[in-house]
Amino acid sequence: MKLSKREQLHDDIRERIKDTARTQMAAEGTAALSLRAIAREMDVTAPALYRYFPGRDDLITALIVDAFNGLADAMAAAEAAQPRDDFRGRLLAALMAYRAWILQNPTDYQLIYGNPIPGYEGPRETTVPASQRSFEVIGLSLGEALAAGQWQPPAIYSAIPAQVEAHLLMILELVGYPIPPSVLYLVMMIWTRIHGLMTLEIFDHTPPVVGSSEHFYQFEITKLLDEIGLK
């Protein structure tokens, strides 16, 4: 479907507004996002922005969805660029892309995984599906490795706590992913690992101690892949 000149321009300006919002959040913090400040920066009056977003909360929602998708796209693209039968390489690429994207877009990361913005209540049905895509990349490539008989979760993950296993099974049934609970468990575990590493990195808690956060991350990821038993 083709956009008219006017629609095209409209979309472009929507993008410019979001970019300005991101710049502003990067400078002042996610909670300081303000329509008036964006308008000021764009040399336009504040009411003009209402041509593009119904209100402040809709702008925030758009930024959140963009952020989830940006992160997922980056991970998916990196994973897809690896040879299909190199399962360790595929997961490694995804996890490296995760770090790279966060370093390039720290504000977006704070927006989706940091403290909520006061007064903002997002529409769950819009944001939740976008948020899950990143983990599908990890879960599905592990699932393929398993299906290909190239890999198995280490024995200990067959001994996860009963309550947890039961809940994972329920979720898997609900969502319909063709993976066993042990693999979903691993996905959640991987998530907590990389999330901890990156949150402490972007808020500058670990870098002053470890010096090279890149080497720190790589070393931790390597150990993680070994631990999981990916060859």
Binding residues for its own copies, rule: CB under 8 A, are 28-32, 110, 113-119, 156, 160-161, 163-164, 166-168, 170-171, 184-185, 188-189, 191-197, 199-200, 203, 205-206, 208-212, 215-216, 218-220, 223, 227
30 binds, among its own copies, DNA, none (CB under 5 to 8 A by kind): its own copies
Q: How far is the CB of 18 from DNA (least distance, A)?
A: 14
Instruction: Give me the DSSP letters along the chain.
Output: -PPPHHHHHHHHHHHHHHHHHHHHHHHH-GGG--HHHHHHHTTS-GGGGGGT-SSHHHHHHHHHHHHHHHHHHHHHHHHHTS-TT-HHHHHHHHHHHHHHHHHH-HHHHHHHHSPPPTT----HHHHHHHHHHHHHHHHHHHHHHHHTTS----GGGGS--HHHHHHHHHHHHHHT-SS-HHHHHHHHHHHHHHHHHHHHHHTTSSHHHHS-HHHHHHHHHHHHHHHHT--
CA angle 107, 33, 63 (to 5 degrees): 55
Q: How far is the CB of 209 from DNA (least distance, A)?
A: 33
206 binds, among DNA, its own copies, none (CB under 5 to 8 A by kind): its own copies
4 counts as binding DNA under rule CB under 7 A: yes
1 binds, among its own copies, DNA, none (CB under 5 to 8 A by kind): none
Q: How far is the CB of 53 from DNA (least distance, A)?
A: 8
116 binds, among DNA, its own copies, none (CB under 5 to 8 A by kind): its own copies
If the CB atoms of residues 60 and 102 are measured against DNA, the closer one turns out to be 60
Kindly state the number of chain residues that form the binding site for DNA, as judged by CB under 7 A: 23
CB 120 within 8 A of CB 216: no
44 counts as binding DNA under rule CB under 7 A: yes
If the CB atoms of residues 87 and 185 are measured against its own copies, the closer one turns out to be 185
124 binds, among its own copies, DNA, none (CB under 5 to 8 A by kind): none
Ranges within 45-84 binding DNA (CB under 7 A)? 45-48, 50-52, 55-57
193 binds, among its own copies, DNA, none (CB under 5 to 8 A by kind): its own copies
CA angle 146, 150, 216 (to 5 degrees): 90
Where do contacts with DNA occur on this chain (CB under 7 A)?
4-6, 9-10, 13, 33-37, 40, 44-48, 50-52, 55-57
